[in-house]
Amino acid sequence: MTNLSLIPVIKQHFKDRYQGKVAYELSTYGSTLAWLRRNFQHVITSEWMPGLPLGQTVNGTRNEDVQRLTFASDSIDLVSSNQVFEHVPDDLLGFGECLRVLRTGGAMILSLPLFDAATTQRIATLENSKVVFIGEAEYHDSRLEGACSVPVFWHHAVGDIAARVQSVGFRSAELLDVTIAPTQKIAAKIIYAVK
């Protein structure tokens, strides 16, 4: 349900006009991606494969690190992602890179696990390329790497996620409650940021 919840926000931002627009989805699967491919003229996807050349295609998949994107500045109209930024060691650097590659008026629309708290908590750091947890270790599953293979670096908070995103230079950033089905008991929380 969360993945689908990005779509109404994308539609509202672009007012259903996608001709000539470039979308970048930070994964190679999901309902949002399928919808983007049906509507946007040009869709770029990627995964992150540590240790392999960035910006290159590896076994049919583009390799990108959201902290060091290889795209030209001001070249993309939409950046979308679902459940990615909790795994980014420097989330602000990642948000900043998304801002850099977006054209003026472009949008970053994403979801991530959000905790009912006032402030985001860092739960892991990178030290000499090694993940060091602050307290209990937490991992999520990955389609590419398997069960419990991807470290979690952040517990992002409802109370400050919009301000964190906006702090890197977005003109606006807000946390939207999106309901896409009458039977949906809890609205999905979607971050909507505009350059």
pLDDT of residue 177: 95
Give the predicted TM-score (pTM) of the model.
0.93
Q: How confident is the model at residue 34 (pLDDT cuts 50, 70, 90)?
A: very high
Question: Which stretches of the chain are assigned E, i.e. beta strand?
Answer: 22-25, 42-45, 57-58, 61-62, 76-82, 102-111, 114-115, 121-122, 124-127, 130-133, 139-142, 146-151, 154-157, 172-178, 188-194
CATH number of the CATH domain containing 84: 3.40.50.150
Residue 137 placed within a domain: no
pLDDT by residue (tens digit) across 145-169? 667 668 999 999 999 999 999 999 9
DSSP SS3 for 113: coil
Find all residues with CB under 8 Å of 98, minimum gap 6, and list them: 66, 69, 79, 108
Query: Which domain covers residue 96, as residue numbers?
Result: 6-113+158-194
C-beta of residue 21 within 8 angstroms of C-beta of residue 41:
yes
Answer yes or no: is 168 within a domain. Answer: yes
Q: How far apart are CA 25 and CA 43, in angstroms?
A: 7
Which is nearest to 75 in space by CA: 47, 51, 100, 48?
A: 100
Q: How confident is the model at residue 31 (pLDDT cuts 50, 70, 90)?
A: very high
> Does residue 1 fall inside a structural domain?
no
Residue 139 binned pLDDT confidence (cut-offs 50, 70, 90): confident
In a domain, 126, yes or no: no
Q: Is 119 inside a domain boundary?
A: no
User: How does pLDDT run across 121-132, given as a tens digit for each residue?
Assistant: 999 999 998 999
- Give the mean pLDDT of the chain: 93
pLDDT band at 1; cut points 50, 70, 90 = low
pLDDT in tens, 42-88: 999 999 988 899 999 999 999 999 999 999 999 999 999 999 999 99
Number of domains forming the structure of the chain = 1
